[in-house]
Amino acid sequence: MISDETVQQEGINAMVRVCKENMLPREDGCFLMHNVLQILYKKSEGLESAKIGALMLLEAFVREELFG
For 10-48, the pLDDT digits (tens) are 888 998 898 888 888 888 888 888 898 888 888 877 777
Domain containing 43: what range? 5-63
Look at residue 5 and tell me whether its pLDDT is greater than 80: no
| Structural domain includes residue 14 | yes
| Structural domain includes residue 57 | yes
Question: What band does 68 get if pLDDT is binned at 50, 70 and 90?
Answer: low
Structural domain count of the chain: 1
Residue 45 has φ and ψ, to the nearest 5°, of -60, -35
| Structural domain includes residue 28 | yes
- Contact, 40 vs 8, CB < 8 A? no
| Structural domain includes residue 34 | yes
SS3 assignment, position 66: coil
| Structural domain includes residue 47 | yes
Q: Print burial letters for 51-64: b (CB count within 10 Å at least 16), e (below 16).
A: ebbbebbbebbeee
Look at residue 1 and tell me whether its pLDDT is greater than 60: no
| Structural domain includes residue 68 | no
